[in-house]
Amino acid sequence: MIKFKRGYNKKIGDFLSQFIPRSKGKALDVGCGEGYNSIILKKKGYYVIGIDIDERMLELSKNRCDKIKKVDVRKGLPFKDESFDFILACDVLEHIHNPKFLLKEIYRILKKDKKAIIRMPNGPLDIFGKGWNHVHYLSAKEWDKMIEDSGFQIIQKTHYFIIPVIRILLKSIPNELLRVVRK
């Protein structure tokens, strides 16, 4: 069982864990934040590099990642082509003005036939986005097209709710989790 400080992060972690394959490879946690998702990757056997633009988040995640690096993803990812066995990008794309550029960078550094997980809110129904600095409010269909146009093949799509009260009150605003593979 993965241990988290907060109930919200625990629910996300428990849900996310089921989609991450075990490996002894190298994983990248894009927008690693406090490193909670990095814990999952490490427990699955990966050597984890966590990147974030926020130095406070990197300080919090330094004991949860094998390596941390300050990176502005809007300028590209400072890694060699096909250098990662798994990439996790949760709740990042909706915060940047050119998410397609980042998707192409993720594609570039992911090894051929390897998988990534990309998670984002379901745009037009994203009632919390304005308070969380979201700059994109794309529908699931629009996100899917952008991801496929970036070279990925969507192999699994899951809609889910993390906050039970929201699920009960507003049944039509799920987050979207995509498992993709580099073709």
Q: How far is Cα 150 from Cα 40, in angstroms, rounded to an integer?
A: 26
H or E segment and range at residue 140: helix 140-149
Q: Which of 44-48, 126-130, 170-174 has the lowest mean pLDDT?
A: 170-174
Q: What proportion of the chain, given as a percentage, has pLDDT over 90?
A: 50
Whether the per-residue pLDDT at 1 is higher than 90: the answer is no
Range of the domain at 110: 7-182
Whether the per-residue pLDDT at 93 is higher than 80: the answer is yes
Task: List the one residue out of 76, 83, 57 whose CA is nearest residue 68.
Answer: 57
Task: For residue 110, tell me if it sits in a domain.
Answer: yes
Kindly report whether the global pTM for this prediction surpasses the value 0.75.
yes
Is the model more confident about 77 or about 125? 77
Assign 183 a pLDDT band (cuts: 50, 70, 90). low
> What pLDDT score was predicted for residue 129?
46
Whether the per-residue pLDDT at 2 is higher than 50: the answer is no
* Mean pLDDT of all residues in 30-56: 95
Assign 119 a pLDDT band (cuts: 50, 70, 90). confident
Task: For residue 2, tell me if it sits in a domain.
Answer: no
Task: For residue 100, tell me if it sits in a domain.
Answer: yes
Task: For residue 1, tell me if it sits in a domain.
Answer: no
- E-strand stretches of 31-90: 47-52, 67-70, 84-90
Whether the per-residue pLDDT at 150 is higher than 90: the answer is yes
> What pLDDT score was predicted for residue 143?
84
* Mean pLDDT of all residues in 112-122: 84
> What pLDDT score was predicted for residue 123?
57
Is the model more confident about 158 or about 116? 116
Residue 35 CB-half CA count within 13 A: 22
The number of distinct structural domains making up the chain is: 1
Task: List the one residue out of 37, 67, 71, 36 whose CA is nearest residue 55.
Answer: 71
CATH of the domain at 129: 3.40.50.150
Task: For residue 57, tell me if it sits in a domain.
Answer: yes
Is the model more confident about 20 or about 6? 20
Task: For residue 104, tell me if it sits in a domain.
Answer: yes
Mean model confidence pLDDT for the chain: 81
Q: How far is Cα 57 from Cα 50, in angstroms, rounded to an integer?
A: 10
